[in-house]
């Protein structure tokens, strides 16, 4: 969603030879490319933090499947994903 929104807004998102940024770079892109008139510093920091947390959870699920996830972590991931989708969906309209 972040990458496609930036592309639609006319930003270049390719990094080196990759057509898309790495997942880790997406959080940085949020911090540097969101419209400062629509998002204050706190909102940008929170969105970036949520994306980093979602990525960390995804890595854990992919590379440490033997680890269990607690209900609270699962619910936090759903809340984070929902917030990011709503806030960034609005940002690129």
Identify the pLDDT of residue 22. 76
pTM of the predicted model as reported, rounded to 2 decimal places? 0.74
Average pLDDT over residues 59-65: 85
Check residue 7 and give its pLDDT.
65
Note the pLDDT of residue 72: 92
Q: From CA 91, how far away is CA 93, in angstroms rounded?
A: 6
Which residues are CB-contacts of 69 (< 8 A; sequence separation ≥ 6)?
57, 60, 61
Please report which residue ranges of the chain form alpha helices under DSSP H.
2-8, 23-33, 41-63, 71-91
Where residue 89 falls among pLDDT bands split at 50, 70, 90? confident
Assign 54 a pLDDT band (cuts: 50, 70, 90). very high
What average pLDDT does the chain have? 82
Tell whether the model's pLDDT for residue 52 goes beyond 90: yes
Decide if pLDDT at 77 tops 70. yes
């Amino acid at each position: 969603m972040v990458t496609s929104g930036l592309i639609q807004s006319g930003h270049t998102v390719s990094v080196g030879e990759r057509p898309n940024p790495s997942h880790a770079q997406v959080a940085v892109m949020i911090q540097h490319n969101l419209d400062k008139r629509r998002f204050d510093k706190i909102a940008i920091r929170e969105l970036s933090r949520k994306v980093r947390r979602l990525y960390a959870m995804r890595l854990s699920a992919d590379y440490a499947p033997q680890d269990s996830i607690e209900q609270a972590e699962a619910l936090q991931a759903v809340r984070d994903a929902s917030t990011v989708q709503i806030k960034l969906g609005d940002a690129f309209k």
